[in-house]
């Protein structure tokens, strides 16, 4: 079976290092590996609108930012199809059919959506007092996991490189595929999530040490941050609050600077930047023992991050001067994506028996049955 990738990001802001180690870096490697028959990378503007209905301008402005981030990390439109979700109407159609295969109760159990409801401050239940004070949950937002199952299956994706928070979505997509195939006959492909292989990349904490990089917490390092911004953010980063003097023993676990090193450091970085240590393990051991100051470790991280980001910044600068071409690329990508989705939808309509005008047999047999009644 052909191996096909689909993955996406919501255009609600620029992409940051959490996106990079959680998925973007992997996508580029997979793209360049040549193992996949097709790669679809989607800007999920329709999904972004499910909880930004009153802020269309934000979504609109961030489509280009995400596209620039994609191009700058090395996604290549000649190898990957980059496109915009809202330009593929087949996805809405498919989501509407899938809604019949999923219960409200099943959707209520989605832990990622639950956490997002909390974070957005939506009213959680239908008690009068609650809904009077808080905004209720938009139906589109509540059902976005169903729409995401449509995104994935419309392209017959086998592989979805994504972060841990997307696991419940892929699980639901698999359930929908099972249900669909058992009701309508084998039609859809079951997708698998591809998670980052290292714990630091699975969930990169914010610069403040909080569980996740998030724009609303202001704890992100963006792919488009300048050298100076990266330096300032790393210098202000959360470390071990009990590591007061250099000679004190320090904790590496939960120390954000070390978590970032776990995510970004390669063995050759030591000979390049800190030749007195042979590996990250040696550096950690020294920190634990005491005698190694935060500033020295932070300086290493700054060097590594800027080395990683320099080529990304350079490509971003190049594409920032070619915005019209980037839109043309997205338009062409959307046209190609639409063709692929339309082909799957034709199979789905046939399986669901809603292909009335193409089913000559249906028409002929009904005509015959009426003719026989004469």
Residue closer to ligand TRP, measured from CB, 45 or 240: 45
Residue closer to ligand TRP, measured from CB, 6 or 68: 6
Spatial separation of the C-alpha atoms in residues 255 and 297, rounded to whole Å: 11
Quick one: residue 307, left, alpha or beta (phi over 0 = left, psi -120 to 50 = alpha)? alpha
**Other Cβ atoms closer than 10 A to 89:** 12
- Residue 39 beta carbon to ligand TRP: minimum distance, rounded to whole angstroms: 12
Is 62 a binder of ligand TRP (CB under 6 A)?
no
The 142-161 contact track toward ligand TRP, x by CB under 6 A, reads ------x--xx-------x-
- Residue 331 beta carbon to ligand TRP: minimum distance, rounded to whole angstroms: 20
Residue 370 burial by Cβ neighbours in a 10 Å radius (0-12, 13-18, 19+): exposed
The 97-136 contact track toward ligand TRP, x by CB under 6 A, reads ----------------------------------------
CA dihedral 20, 259, 110, 185 (to 10 degrees): 50
Spatial separation of the C-alpha atoms in residues 82 and 87, rounded to whole Å: 12
Which residues in the 166-225 window bind ligand TRP by CB under 6 A? 166
Kindly indicate which of the ranges 2-10, 232-240, 273-281, 336-344 contains the residues binding ligand TRP, using the contact rule CB under 6 A: 2-10
Out of 4, 15, 24, 44, name the contact with ligand TRP by CB under 6 A: 44
Out of 4, 5, 7, 75, name the contact with ligand TRP by CB under 6 A: 7
Helix, strand, coil percentages in the chain from 3-state DSSP, rounded to 5: 60, 5, 35
- Residue 112 beta carbon to ligand TRP: minimum distance, rounded to whole angstroms: 8
Spatial separation of the C-alpha atoms in residues 357 and 102, rounded to whole Å: 28
Residue closer to ligand TRP, measured from CB, 46 or 257: 46
Sheet hosting strand 81-84, strand order edge to edge: 81-84, 38-43, 4-9, 159-161, 192-194
Q: Cα-atom radius of gyration of the chain, to the nearest Å?
A: 24
- Residue 249 beta carbon to ligand TRP: minimum distance, rounded to whole angstroms: 39
Is 10 a binder of ligand TRP (CB under 6 A)?
yes
Residue closer to ligand TRP, measured from CB, 39 or 234: 39
Spatial separation of the C-alpha atoms in residues 66 and 330, rounded to whole Å: 11
- Residue 337 beta carbon to ligand TRP: minimum distance, rounded to whole angstroms: 12
Residue numbers at the binding site for ligand TRP (CB under 6 A) = 6-10, 44, 47, 148, 151-152, 160, 162, 166
């Amino acid at each position: 079976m052909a191996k096909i990738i689909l993955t996406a990001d919501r255009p609600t802001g620029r992409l940051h290092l959490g996106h990079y180690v959680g998925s973007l870096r992997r996508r580029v490697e997979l793209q360049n590996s040549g193992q996949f028959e097709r790669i679809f990378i989607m800007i999920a503007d329709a999904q972004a609108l499910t909880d930004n209905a009153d802020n269309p301008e934000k979504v609109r402005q961030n489509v280009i930012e995400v596209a620039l981030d994609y191009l700058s990390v090395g996604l290549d439109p000649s190898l990957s199809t980059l496109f915009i979700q809202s330009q593929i109407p087949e996805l809405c159609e498919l989501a509407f059919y899938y809604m019949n295969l999923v219960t409200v109760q099943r959707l209520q159990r989605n832990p990622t959506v639950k956490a997002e409801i909390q974070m957005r401050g939506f009213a959680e239940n239908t008690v009068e007092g609650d809904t009077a004070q808080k905004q209720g949950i938009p139906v589109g937002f509540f059902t976005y996991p169903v729409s995401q199952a449509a995104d994935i299956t419309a392209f017959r994706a086998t592989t979805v490189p994504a972060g841990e928070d997307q696991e419940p979505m892929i699980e639901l997509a698999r359930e929908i595929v099972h249900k669909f195939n058992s009701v309508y006959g084998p039609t859809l492909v079951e997708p698998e999530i591809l998670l980052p292989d290292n714990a630091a990349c699975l969930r990169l904490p914010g610069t403040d040490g909080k569980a996740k990089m998030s724009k609303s917490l202001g704890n992100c390092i963006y792919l488009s941050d300048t050298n100076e911004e990266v330096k300032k953010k790393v210098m202000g980063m959360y470390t071990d609050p009990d590591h007061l003097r250099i000679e004190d023993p320090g904790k590496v676990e939960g120390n954000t600077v070390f978590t970032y090193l776990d995510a970004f450091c390669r063995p050759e970085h030591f000979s390049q930047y800190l030749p007195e240590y042979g590996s990250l393990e040696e550096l950690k051991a020294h920190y634990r023992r005491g005698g190694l100051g935060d500033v020295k470790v932070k300086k290493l991280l700054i060097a590594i991050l800027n080395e990683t980001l320099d080529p990304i910044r350079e490509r971003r600068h190049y594409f920032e001067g070619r915005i019209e071409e980037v839109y043309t690329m997205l338009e062409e990508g959307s046209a190609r994506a639409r063709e692929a989705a339309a082909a799957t939808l034709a199979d789905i309509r046939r399986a669901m028996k809603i292909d009335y005008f193409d089913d000559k047999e249906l028409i002929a047999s009904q005509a015959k049955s009426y003719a026989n009644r004469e």
